[in-house]
Amino acid sequence: MKFIADVMLGSLAKRLRLLGSDVLYDRTLNDNEIIRLSLEQDRVILTRDTGLAARPLAANHLFINCDGALAQVQQVLSAFPASSQPLTRCSECNVPLACLEKRDARDLVPPHVYEAHDEFLQCASCGRIYWKGSHVKRMTMPAGVKQNSRSARTGPAVQKTNENKIR
């Protein structure tokens, strides 16, 4: 499942990326650009904007009605169970991460991290380095989220429609 998040959901986009979801987020995009990209790339719009959610061409959306980032992640995962693994996408660029040889990470990470870990990942776009530290163990499905719980959607039901697609 691919998503596009509106300007109000930057923290949600980053957290979903860390969980492995493909989330397009650019705070400079206006509503028309979000809708266009959603239709062109078959992405579900994640929004807190009632005006955007009400637009006919934005029918494929999930209205986020929670305030906190953790609750927002839970809402998205309730509607769309995670289908990817954590630490597979850059949290900043949304680019898939590539394996980095341990010897190549030596000067890029703190010495204690280098000594404690054998596997490293790097974003080809921004160069960020990732490793599976203790935070990854905590980065599992948030408590209380039920897998495949389509009835857990909130706001208007997520409508998947192809009739309004522009190709």
The whole-model pTM stands at: 0.79
Structure tokens at 112: 């204690």
87: left (phi over 0), alpha (psi -120 to 50) or beta: left
| Residue-level pLDDT at 84 | 83
What's the CA gap between 163 and 69, in Å, rounded? 32
Q: Are the C-beta atoms of 6 and 52 separated by less than 8 Å?
A: yes
Structure tokens at 18: 């860390």
Residue 121: strand, helix, or coil: strand
Q: Are the C-beta atoms of 61 and 131 separated by less than 8 Å?
A: no
| Residue-level pLDDT at 20 | 93
| Residue-level pLDDT at 133 | 81
Main-chain dihedrals φ then ψ at residue 63, nearest 5 degrees: -80, 120
What's the CA gap between 31 and 54, in Å, rounded? 11
What's the CA gap between 60 and 22, in Å, rounded? 16
Intervals of the chain under pLDDT 70: 135-167
Residue type, 131: W
Query: Domain spans of the chain?
Result: 2-86+142-152, 97-138
